[in-house]
Structure 1
Amino acid sequence: MPTIDEILSFDDSPPPPGASPWVVEPVAAPITLVDYDPSWPAQAAAVAARIAAALGTRALRIEHVGSTSVPGLPAKPVIDLDLTVAAPVHEAGWLPQLRAAGFVLTVREPWWHEHRLVRGAAPAANVHVFGPDSPETVKHTVFRDWLRSSAADRELYAAAKREAAEATTRGRGLVMDYNQRKEGVIREIYGRAFRAAGFLD
């Protein structure tokens, strides 16, 4: 399990020299946000069921996270899930099964909590693969649960998302540019979320 210090810290380090996280290179595309869709939880459950069927007991935890998991929040129409496996670095134990189920490995970041990203379609889904000691899965659920409970921070985050999407689309940027533009507001909200969850006094 991660320590509290690990949960409360943010690692903004760039990739090691010469390393790239991209297995499939990203392309610039408009960032399209849509209003919250009440079908998103059911879509997430369907993707989770595909993962569970493919991995069986090797799927230690599957959690719907990200903006599509927060009722009332606009989002890109892509389901985000966190998948916990025993050892992401041992890809032979989980990746072939997910590939057979239609998922594509897109990102590999061994320097950042051994993170992998696989993408699925119908519905579009990003599945973030972490190990049981990763602080990111804790952060994501704390952030989600706080946004579900705080109308003020939902509105703050929604405004930041819309502004970031417009600026990124106008500049023909990538999704990582969109994410970077939201980062200041996300960190601000995290402070309140951590406090509400009891990680801070």
Structure 2
Amino acid sequence: MSDSNKPRPPDTQTVELVGGPEAIDVELQSYDPQWPVIYAEHRQRIVDALTDVAVTIEHIGSTSVDGLAAKPIIDIVVMVPDITAEEDYLDPLLAAGYVLRVREPAHRLVRTPARDVHVHLLEHGDPAVDEYLLLRDHLRSNADDRALYESTKRSLLTKRWADMNDYADAKTTVILAIKARARAAHDA
């Protein structure tokens, strides 16, 4: 484990997409009650791999919302103390069978070789985590926005995408609107 008294190395300043862009050919599936089970299995796998690291782990993304159709990819966020201390978390996760897909400022992504589980690594306190949880929790409790989000995804998946990141970017406008309503409801 890294020494908290030594200076932190600078984080990466580039985006490394291991393996390059990937076309997607994924359809939405109806909500599957196995998704939380798969999350729990991977949560335990991550906990077992990161025994020496203080982490917080959350199920995020569409598969974490009961009743929401989703691409069958389990998204997990793992908050680590220091994103630059890759030796603390990345090496153990690779040893546990995950593969590195993305290394970018403040974020790493490992996934299963089958590409059906994505583990997002962020630092404790990163505002992106709050954004993931805001969206997840709102979609869990708001049927209208859950239906809007699902219909948006269904519409977007009728198009051909050169890269999964392009598909994700296309959802941004709707996601921002849903999160604005979630904030307003939370602040009311």
**Paired residue for 1:195, among 178, 184, 188?**
184
Alpha-carbon contact 1:36-1:73 (below 8 Å) kept: yes
1:156 correspondence with 2:148: yes
Q: Residue in 2 aligned with 1:36?
A: 31
Length-normalised TM-score, structure 2 = 0.88
> Aligned partners of 2:36 and 2:113: how far apart in 1?
16
Moved over 3 A (4+): none
Match of 2:129 among 124, 133, 137: 137
Is the 2:99–2:113 Cα contact (8 Å) retained in structure 1? no
Question: Which residues of structure 2 form unaligned runs of 5+?
Answer: 1-11
Distance 1:150 1:27 in 2: 33
How many equivalent pairs are there?
Answer: 177
Question: Pairwise mapping of residues 24-103 of structure 1 onto structure 2 (< 5 A)?
Answer: 24-103=19-98
Identical pairs, percent: 41
Q: Cα distance, 1:60 vs. partner?
A: 1.4
What residue identity is the alignment partner of 2:138?
Answer: W
1:170-185 matches, cutoff 5 A: 172-185=161-174
Task: Tell me by how many angstroms 1:123 deviates.
Answer: 8.0
Q: 1:122 deviation in Å?
A: 6.4
**TM-superposed deviation, 1:180:** 1.6
Gaps of 5+ in 1: 1-14
C-alpha displacement of 1:143:
0.7
What's the offset of the Cα at 1:24?
Answer: 2.6
For residues 28 and 97 of structure 2, what CA distance do their matches in structure 1 show?
25
Q: Given that residues 31 and 68 in structure 2 are in contact (C-alpha distance below 8 angstroms), is that contact kept between their aligned partners in structure 1?
A: yes
Offset at residue 28 of structure 1 (A): 1.1
- Contact 1:59–1:83, Cα closer than 8 Å, also in 2: no
State the SS of the aligned residue for 1:138. helix
- SS in structure 2 of the partner of residue 117 of structure 1: strand
Cα distance in 2 between the residues matched to 1:122 and 1:163: 25
Distance in structure 2 (CA, Å) of the matches to 1:197 and 1:22: 36
